[in-house]
Amino acid sequence: MNTMTMTAISADELIKKMTIAAVEVYIIGGEADESEVGAFKEAIPLIEKAWELTDGQADEALALIKKQHEAVENASENSEDMESVLEEKLLLDTPNGGEILAVLWALTETAVRLDRREDREKIAGLISYLKDYWDLAEHISF
């Protein structure tokens, strides 16, 4: 097991936050937008790989995201209200500026630990997406 630790948030917490954000994207979008959620689905296993996690949290996270995808598709096919696979209080907890920076820093630390350029670019793309998704500029005052 690697002895280095993340300085911002734990890898487990990072996977949890990425799972919540992916589910939110499905819920807010109201349809199964794989182009946006795909970045999360690619990043979660990379986080697990970079931090040498072995507890299967990435598989659990991806299963939750898949379940939300199915809920979105089912709701749109049957003109029903969509159910969330996560507790509402998790989805309504919008991160503040410090929390956003902690997640972005943790993703940056993750990218540095990855060997393949393509993997680092996937994490960098997610960082860019999250910066806009969470409207980081709105939380920073000069």
Cα–Cα distance measured from residue 17 to residue 106, given in angstroms and rounded to the nearest whole number? 11
Q: Among 25, 5, 38, 29, which Cα is nearest to 125's?
A: 38
Q: What average pLDDT does the segment 101-122 reach?
A: 96
In a domain, 49, yes or no: yes
For the entire predicted model, the pTM comes to 0.85
Residue 95 lies in a domain: yes
Q: Of 98, 99, 118, 119, nearest to 110 (Cα)?
A: 119
More confident call, 136 vs 111? 111
Nearest to 68 by CA among 21, 13, 135: 21
pLDDT for 80 beyond 70: no
Structural domains counted in the chain:
1
Please check the confidence at residue 115 and state whether its pLDDT lies above 90.
yes
Considering the chain, what is the average pLDDT of its residues?
85
pLDDT value for 87: 72
* Residue 1, pLDDT score: 42
The predicted model gives 121-128 an average pLDDT of 97
Confidence (pLDDT) at 6: 53
60 assigned to some structural domain: yes
3, part of any domain = no
pLDDT computed for residue 30 by the predictor: 63
Instruction: Express each pLDDT in 4-43 by its tens digit.
Output: 555 569 999 999 999 999 998 888 776 656 778 999 999 9
For residue 36, what are the domain limits? 11-139
Residue range 52-57: mean pLDDT, rounded: 92
**Which tens digits make up the pLDDT trace of 87-107?**
776 666 778 888 999 999 999
Q: Is there a domain that residue 5 lies in? A: no
Question: Which pLDDT score is estimated for 141?
Answer: 62
Check whether 130 has a pLDDT greater than 50.
Answer: yes
Is 6 within the bounds of a domain? no
